Structure 1
Amino acid sequence: MPPKRKSSNKSPKGKTPTVVDGLSTDEMSKEQLEEHIVRLREELDREREERNYFQLERDKIHTFWEITKRQLEEKKCELRNRERELEEGEAPPSGNKGL
């Protein structure tokens, strides 16, 4: 397999300007850029909150799964024990012939 080519951040035709609200960042005033930065930070905060929420939900589901899995194993063990007790109770006692 041929070696992978290293990618560069430069496009062959030069850097394209970022466009916000129909204006490139070069055409925006300082105040417009500051407002845009504030909006981006607010969006970042919302995204982080949402990510944290989903991580908590994932952890809750995982914990619920583990607890339920452990309970299932316990119930299976109880069922095996009861079945064994029933089998032992139905079988004739060994060694007590004629009593």
Structure 2
Amino acid sequence: MFELTIVVNHLSILVVAGGRFQLPAGLILCITLFMTKSTTVEDKKRGRGRPVTTGKTPITGVRIADEIGDALDKFAAHELDTPNRSEAIRRILRDWLSNHGYLPK
């Protein structure tokens, strides 16, 4: 014979296998709340140090005067794909360097 004793809020209830036993609604709610599967959240361990960067080439920081920044924005606006400032600077430098023989065409 199988017997199960359930204790909830200091009330002991004996359930016998094969017998019919009706539990109060509040007790069923308590049992389902306590018997749900527990889940664990595993945090990713972060390494120490600087985060990984996406670029392959070294970064060169440059301070640009307002008038040159405005000219860069105008240049970017006239391009078909409207590049950001970084890409506009790359294009202008690449064109100038190749036109003056510093880069192959």
TM-score by length of 2: 0.25
TM-score by length of 1: 0.26
Bigger helix fraction: 1
Asked which structure has the greater CA Rg, the reply is: 2
